[in-house]
Structure 1
Amino acid sequence: MPEQLEPHQKARMTALETTVRDGLRDFRRTGQALSEIRDNEFFRAGYDSFESYLQDRWGFTPPQAGRLMEAADVAKVLDPLGIQPRNEAQARTFKAAAKLVTELEPEDQRVVARLVEGVMPPQAEGDDSPPWDLPAAEVRIMASVVKRLDADATVYHPENGREVAMGTLSGPERYEVIRTHVDQKTQAYREKQEAKANAPQAENVNWGDWILNYAAQNLGPGQRLELVVEPDGSGASRAVARVVDGNTGEVLAAGQGAVTLKKAALNLAAEVRG
């Protein structure tokens, strides 16, 4: 049954609902307000559950509200780093990075903020909005490097190249080591992404249509295309697609064995195409 709220709780609930109503276009304010309503159970004044409150009061499903609250939590972590996601969906791409940041000591979080600042392009005077989109993966790289290179880590001294413990370096030296590691890993990540973007796209082949078309256009008299499932000797089965001479039983072409009929057919397609 609904419960009565204390006067101060009722006042806070009113303020939070005003925030939700006025800030539906601002996922940060909306998500934070919903989290506080849930955590303090302010909804109990009129509803038996948070879920029924969400649906009846705001038309939110629990998953929708969950995404808003999660995005608001992520944005709260990113704000001290100088990162301001433009919307809820973008904020949630930083979830893994934000988790790593929260695992760092405050001093190390400030190092991540400095790394972020170091890659920001110049902004016009008076322009407070971030004109850039720093990939979430690159923030994750920054946080993971800072976390990994703790005081006990063995690194190369930035000036003389000798192996030393990270904890023996001065603040500027430690930052230079971290920045170098971040630059190397970020460059490797970017090269990998570029290679992936430039890689030829695999042809989207409907294997059933390919079998029928190939049979109609390429099989000679007495030939047939078979999809055979047979034991592989280990107690499992494998599928093989092959072209067979129906008169002699000779296998004219065969793809590699596979664990699915689709893959077997595509393997045969690759084989006959050369």
Structure 2
Amino acid sequence: MDLPPGSTPLGCKWILKRKYKADGSIDKYKARLVAKGFKQKEGLDFFDTYSPVTRITSIRVLIAIAALYDLEIHQMDVKTAFLNGELDEEIYMEQPEGFVVPGQEKKAYDSPPAKTPVDLNLHLAKNKGESEGQIEYSRIIGSLMYIMNCTRPDIAYAVNKLSRFTSNPSKNHWKGLIRVLRYLKYTSNYGLHYTRYPAVLEGYSDANWISDSKDTKSTSGYVFTIGGGAVSWKSSKQTCIARSTMESEFIALDKAGEEAEWLRNFLEDIPCWTKPVPAIMIHCDSQSAIGRAQKWYV
């Protein structure tokens, strides 16, 4: 059809997937043509971006509570819910140019397993040369982020570190990426396990103060557990420069405190959880940061 005056068409791309059977053999191939919605401008191409989806943290908290009280879990799913939504705006998309035949992808299936996700002897810095497989690197990072966000807090630091070089990865960055895949191969039986004890929500906070001389910003990390299993975790680069180990630990405590407040409010809405929800204990290995936090609290 002819493009209406004043309209700008979006580009498109193919998403190719394999569907597998229960025995691991290929069932069928699927191809989906999608619009490049990231090129839309708010206020011009769209106005409302709200989507009523839950945080994965909420799901893990409910699973942990079910383990505490020996409850049965029932799941309901509305298939293709997002595909059946109605759009208020008219969207125009360019026709696809054709199919792209992928080349030989880099694989790590034959690599030996690794016992840790990070190689301490591998130095990661910005790549000033040509990019090494940037698209494939980004795809693997995205897959690792999904695994990390759902069930693997132990790779959070490694994935966060490697994701900083997605725009221009080098051979060293690929080595770090393969290391994480080797670690996942070695720990393929790892998962989240929730029990009835301890029946409390508690957190742990830590920070890595300027581990790289070329990067003056530290890394924060926290994890919260219920029934001995992790329900919320995060590893992220701090947005401001910490002038000491104590400051970096204090900044990490602040982020952990924000998440603790969210979790506490969430538990207030759970009928079977003890009310009022008690204060959440956050463990920290820096006595100076704990002292400063207590001083500010008083």
Interval containing the TM-score (normalised by the shorter chain): under 0.3
Structure with a larger share of its residues in strand: 2
Greater share of residues in helix: 1
Between 1 and 2, higher relative CO (CA 8 Å, sep ≥ 6) is seen in 2
* Structure exhibiting the larger radius of gyration computed from Cα positions: 1
TM-score, L = length of structure 2: 0.22
Normalising by structure 1, report the TM-score: 0.23
